[in-house]
Amino acid sequence: DADVTQTPRNRITKTGKRIMLECSQTKGHDRMYWYRQDPGLGLRLIYYSFDVKDINKGEISDGYSVSRQAQAKFSLSLESAIPNQTALYFCATIGGVGDNEQFFGPGTRLTVL
Amino acid sequence: QKEVEQNSGPLSVPEGAIASLNCTYSDRVSQSFFWYRQYSGKSPELIMSIYSNGDKEDGRFTAQLNKASQYVSLLIRDSQPSDSATYLCAVIGSGGGADGLTFGKGTHLIIQP
């Protein structure tokens, strides 16, 4: 099994729709992160979580919400999608000595029309 | 606001030569530094981590850190066409992994056969 899985891998939706992106990990890491990547802008942090009771906003959290259902699961929701949320979304886990265990999911390509 | 700067490229290097990628960061108390390789449409893959001043070698890769100059670099020796990718630099600040990784926008590297 892959270390970090994301579903769906691709999604096309319409403006105003609610959409959920799901992430699961098998690494046993407590820390999980959601990033979005836009051409020319690199990866930017949306939300992060240290455990099921600890959720924190990142650099660009407006328009997004998250849920940490279990240590292994971290979901990202767009309550009312808008076109500028079209991007590639990555889930990641970090752990290990010096944070040198880092695993990224395969990404979800989201298009909002 | 922490910033990580990279030249976006493209950086074109002949096969077999040394590719040199550079990164500067703004947070003087950053503790951990990472280099990733990302192929188009794929997730980032961690290839090097460095925590103290000096050089760290792993196979064909060497990471160099100079905290006084707030500068980290990646050297790729004996460059191969398969090294053609975007290379991302990221840092973790003084809070450890508490607020995740701050990424640069990446350098697009092209290895010319």
* Res A105 pLDDT > 80: yes
- The CA–CA distances, whole Å, from B66 to A67, B22, B43, B52 equal 39, 11, 28, 8
* Res A1 pLDDT > 80: no
In angstroms, the CA B9 to CA A77 distance is 34
From A3-7, A92-96, B75-79, B80-84, the region with the lowest mean pLDDT: A92-96
Question: Given CB atoms, is B93 within the 8 Å cutoff of chain A?
Answer: no
The answer to whether A27 and A3 are in contact (CB under 8 A) is yes
In A, residues 22-61, which contact B (CB 8 Å cutoff)?
A: 31, 33, 35, 40-45, 48, 50, 56, 58
The pLDDT value given to residue B95: 63
Closest CB from A42, A45, A107 relative to B100? A45
Q: In the structure encoding, which two tokens stand for residue B86, read together?
A: 């975007």
Number of neighbours of residue A54 by Cβ within 10 angstroms? 11
- Strand segments, DSSP code E, in chain B are 4-5, 11-14, 19-25, 32-38, 45-50, 54-58, 61-66, 71-76, 85-92, 102-103, 107-112
* Interval A48-68: pLDDT, tens: 999 999 999 998 999 999 999
Size of interface A-B (CB pairs under 8 A): 58
The answer to whether A21 and A108 are in contact (CB under 8 A) is yes
The pLDDT value given to residue B97: 59
Question: Given CB atoms, is B32 within the 8 Å cutoff of chain A?
Answer: yes
Closest CB from A44, A99, A104 relative to B44? A104
* Interval B7-45: pLDDT, tens: 989 999 999 999 999 999 998 888 899 999 999 999 999
* Res B94 pLDDT > 90: no
User: What confidence tier does B1 reach under pLDDT thresholds 50, 70, 90?
Assistant: low
Angle, CA B44 vertex, CA B40 and CA B49 arms, to 5°: 140
Percent of chain A exceeding pLDDT 90 equals: 86
Mean pLDDT, residues B63-68? 96
Number of neighbours of residue B78 by Cβ within 10 angstroms? 12
User: What confidence tier does B98 reach under pLDDT thresholds 50, 70, 90?
Assistant: low
Number of neighbours of residue A22 by Cβ within 10 angstroms? 18
User: What confidence tier does B89 reach under pLDDT thresholds 50, 70, 90?
Assistant: very high
In angstroms, the CA B88 to CA B82 distance is 16
Is the previous residue joined to B10 through a cis bond, with omega within 30 degrees of 0? yes
In angstroms, the CA B101 to CA B111 distance is 28
The pLDDT value given to residue B2: 74
